[in-house]
Chains A and B, each alone.
Chain A
């Protein structure tokens, strides 16, 4: 199937409209028909048709209805084709649900958007039978409305690879027997955690991208924020959804300051804070301030609270490290993991001196999840430098530089080691 991005001449306005409508159209079809994989294909074809026809013919009065009509017809063609094959092979046509045969008239397709559609679609794309990579890809296509080519470009894999990954993901969901409906109440909380984790991963993919020549990836951060904002609007009472949105806003607010024009990384303490985005900080701070008192504290809220303290400090020296330290203590109790211990150690060093931090690192050396990780050595280098042990600090930075798989991090760590040598 040709891809919208590779064939489209559509204007940015039309592309935005299509991306906004894509999940609504898919949800409307999937809710009626039930076959998520077939519906997703049909919607992609309808989007492609729109991106080819609308620039010349103009945007229809009811674009959503137009897309639903075209997608329904494509779906019907597909089901008829499948059915004909089945009839020839097994005469199993009786298994077709009757409603799958009904094509709506173009003026009868104003299918009301169900309140739960957007969430149901997200739960579907983040189905636990999928690997995180597949959950990301499917979410970006079905919920984000990105084309396969755009997603492939964002993850640096060929379009064919991404197309196959998405089609495999849909087949996996189908084989797992997933239905287009909200998960039962007993599973809802666990499934929502998976959705939030996928959104967090999408955000991180975009946020950690170096600026400069690659414009695809930062868009992922914006997309993650857009989807999380939508989830927050639909589940305003869920404190962790609010916490995740606040965390994204407060982190993304620093984007412009975190890299230099050549793509090299600027550590938090050295960032030009006048380049932080005050509107995003305001929104993030307001959100986390309103959420924490609800008393349903979770890891995203704690991380957002920590980000807020950093963002509200006028200078690095003004950072309220004692408060950050107590938040890391809570976070470590709530969701113990070695990455949090690393950050905890930095906060401990800022409050109680580098020795306190180094002592905490010692506990990680036998933890196989992180013992060989470059970040352990990077933090050790930082704390040793604070302690004035220049020789050991340099060795730790060098080891970290050898271990990282990130080019900007390697440049940064090599730079640290080199500066200590002089």
Chain B
């Protein structure tokens, strides 16, 4: 089963972390990435830059806007895509990357189906 793990980070909190603590957390991310590569569960991992741009339809055409989210504490900071045996395993993977933020787990839709 394929899942994406969306890492929503608390940016204000993150920026105030002492270097050693930030290094420790980043180190955990890299450790997890190595583990997922070795186990054959990793599809891909991406870190996202901080700047956000929103495009929305306004008056029937796309326009750059301030976005629908306003000032929120959490911001999408990274995405893990994994292929695992169970939802339980996806939750386990989310554990170490949930520090100073929140990880949202979403299953990918498949392009396969059975006739009803």
Interface window among A54-62, A67-75, A154-162, A276-284:
A154-162
Assess whether A405 is in contact with B83, with CB atoms less than 8 Å apart: no
A132 contacts B by Cβ under 8 Å: yes
Assess whether A168 is in contact with B40, with CB atoms less than 8 Å apart: yes
Assess whether A409 is in contact with B114, with CB atoms less than 8 Å apart: yes
**C-alpha spacing A160/B42, complex, angstroms:** 9
User: Which A residues, 383 to 411, have Cβ-Cβ distances below 8 Å to chain B?
Assistant: 404-410
List the B side residues contacting A205 at CB < 8 Å.
112
**Given A155-B83, A161-B83, A405-B107, A217:B40 Cβ within 8 A:** no
Interface window among A6-14, A260-268, A297-305:
A260-268
**C-alpha spacing A298/B44, complex, angstroms:** 42
Assess whether B109 is in contact with A410, with CB atoms less than 8 Å apart: yes
Q: Which 10 pairs show the lowest CB-CB distances between chains A and B?
A: A165-B40, A408-B113, A406-B113, A409-B113, A164-B40, A208-B112, A407-B109, A209-B112, A267-B115, A265-B115
A22 contacts B by Cβ under 8 Å: no
B110 contacts A by Cβ under 8 Å: yes
Interchain Cβ contacts under 8 Å between A and B, 12 examples: A134-B40, A155-B83, A158-B43, A161-B83, A168-B38, A168-B39, A209-B112, A263-B111, A406-B110, A407-B111, A409-B113, A413-B116
Assess whether A156 is in contact with B112, with CB atoms less than 8 Å apart: no
Against A, the Cβ 8 Å flags (1 = close, 0 = not) of B69-101 are 000000000000001010000000000000000
CB distance from B80 to the nearest CB of A (A): 13
A382 contacts B by Cβ under 8 Å: yes
Against A, the Cβ 8 Å flags (1 = close, 0 = not) of B41-65 are 1111000000000000000000000
B8 contacts A by Cβ under 8 Å: no
For residue A411, which residue of chain B has the nearest CB? B113
* A residues with CB within 8 A of B: 131-134, 155-158, 160-168, 205, 208-210, 214, 217, 258, 263, 265-268, 271, 375, 378-379, 382, 404-410, 412-413
**C-alpha spacing A379/B44, complex, angstroms:** 36
* Cβ-neighbour of A161 out of B1, B42, B85, B107 (below 8 A): B42
**Given A164-B38, A168-B40, A406:B115 Cβ within 8 A:** no
Question: A161-B40, A405-B110 given. 20 additional CB < 8 A pairs?
Answer: A155-B83, A158-B44, A160-B37, A161-B41, A164-B40, A165-B41, A210-B112, A258-B115, A266-B115, A267-B115, A271-B115, A405-B1, A405-B107, A407-B111, A408-B112, A408-B113, A409-B113, A409-B114, A409-B116, A413-B116
Total B residues in contact with A, Cβ cutoff 8 Å:
22
Assess whether A133 is in contact with B116, with CB atoms less than 8 Å apart: no
For residue A268, which residue of chain B has the nearest CB? B115
CB distance from A222 to the nearest CB of B (A): 16
**C-alpha spacing A157/B41, complex, angstroms:** 9
List the B side residues contacting A133 at CB < 8 Å.
83, 85
* Cβ-neighbour of A157 out of B39, B43, B111, B112 (below 8 A): B43
List the A side residues contacting B26 at CB < 8 Å.
none
B13 contacts A by Cβ under 8 Å: no
For residue B89, which residue of chain A has the nearest CB? A131
* Cβ-neighbour of A382 out of B2, B107, B108, B116 (below 8 A): B116
List the B side residues contacting A412 at CB < 8 Å.
113, 116
Most chain A C-beta atoms within 10 Å of own C-beta, residue among B38, B40, B107, B109? B40
Assess whether B115 is in contact with A217, with CB atoms less than 8 Å apart: no
List the B side residues contacting A268 at CB < 8 Å.
115
List the A side residues contacting B43 at CB < 8 Å.
157-158, 161
Assess whether A217 is in contact with B112, with CB atoms less than 8 Å apart: yes
* Cβ-neighbour of B113 out of A156, A157, A407 (below 8 A): A407
List the B side residues contacting A164 at CB < 8 Å.
37-40, 42
**C-alpha spacing A382/B116, complex, angstroms:** 9
List the A side residues contacting B85 at CB < 8 Å.
131-133
For residue A137, which residue of chain B has the nearest CB? B40
CB distance from B83 to the nearest CB of A (A): 5
List the B side residues contacting A379 at CB < 8 Å.
116
* Cβ-neighbour of B83 out of A132, A157, A214, A408 (below 8 A): A157
List the B side residues contacting A267 at CB < 8 Å.
115-116
